[in-house]
């Protein structure tokens, strides 16, 4: 049986869904081989580390694991390709076709960035996310985006999808 792989678009959507649930709105995301690592910025005030861990353990059924670091170090979230694939399939089964997407949602914006990186054939990349500026490094380049830029990419992505369905 051939290996099933996910695009960056699919993987980043799942990661975004998980980051929304822990109120992570400023972070660095990097690829590490086939996996993804998210490090919230130190200024993350919202949720204490123990409650983040408790929430993730309960909600994700220990599927995504927290890095073993001492309490003074930043929390890191590791997302393996296989875990993302399983989570994506589970969420896909629960999703209704044509269900509306909030374009301000982190999972949508990360999905759009993933689509952009897929089109650029980026194997390894990093994303530094803050509320007002998104920095993406890939293929030896660094690009800066605002949420408005990404929103425009998202509109084009959905227009192309609707053109495929009607044509």
pLDDT class of 67 with cuts at 50, 70, 90: very low
Q: What is the DSSP letter of 167?
A: -
pLDDT at residue 131, rounded to an integer: 84
**For residues 107 and 17, is the Cβ–Cβ distance under 8 A?**
yes
Give the Cα separation of 108 and 164 in Å (integer): 20
Domain that holds residue 96: 8-166
Burial class (CB in 10 A: 0-12, 13-18, 19+), 163: exposed
- Residue 43 domain-assigned? yes
- Residue 1 domain-assigned? no
Give the Cα separation of 121 and 165 in Å (integer): 24
pLDDT at residue 165, rounded to an integer: 56
Give the Cα separation of 26 and 104 in Å (integer): 15
pLDDT at residue 145, rounded to an integer: 94
- Residue 3 domain-assigned? no
Of 131, 103, 134, the closest CA to residue 29 belongs to 134
**For residues 1 and 100, is the Cβ–Cβ distance under 8 A?**
no
The predicted model scores a pTM of 0.72
- Residue 2 domain-assigned? no
- Residue 52 domain-assigned? yes
- Residue 26 domain-assigned? yes
Name the most confidently modeled range: 11-25, 36-50, 82-96. 11-25
pLDDT at residue 79, rounded to an integer: 93
What pLDDT, in 10s, does the model give residues 133-153? 999 999 999 999 998 888 888
Residues 6+ away with beta carbon under 8 Å from 110 = 12, 13, 15, 16, 19, 29, 127
Q: Per the structure, how many domains does the chain have? A: 1
What pLDDT, in 10s, does the model give residues 99-110? 545 556 888 899
């Amino acid at each position: 049986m051939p290996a099933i792989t996910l695009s960056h678009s699919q993987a980043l959507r799942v990661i975004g869904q998980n980051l929304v649930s822990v109120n992570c709105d400023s972070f660095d995301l990097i690829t590490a081989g086939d996996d993804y690592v998210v490090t919230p910025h130190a200024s993350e005030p919202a949720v204490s580390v123990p409650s983040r861990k408790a929430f993730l353990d309960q909600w994700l059924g220990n599927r995504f694991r927290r890095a073993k670091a001492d309490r003074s170090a930043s929390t890191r979230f590791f997302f393996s390709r296989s875990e993302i694939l399983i989570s994506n399939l589970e969420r896909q089964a629960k999703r209704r076709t044509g269900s509306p997407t909030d374009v301000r949602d982190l999972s949508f914006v990360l999905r759009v960035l993933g689509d952009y990186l897929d089109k650029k054939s980026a194997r390894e990349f990093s994303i530094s996310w803050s509320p007002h500026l998104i920095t993406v490094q890939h293929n030896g380049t660094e690009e800066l985006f605002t949420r408005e830029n990404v929103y425009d990419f998202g509109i084009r992505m959905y227009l192309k999808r609707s053109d495929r369905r009607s044509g």
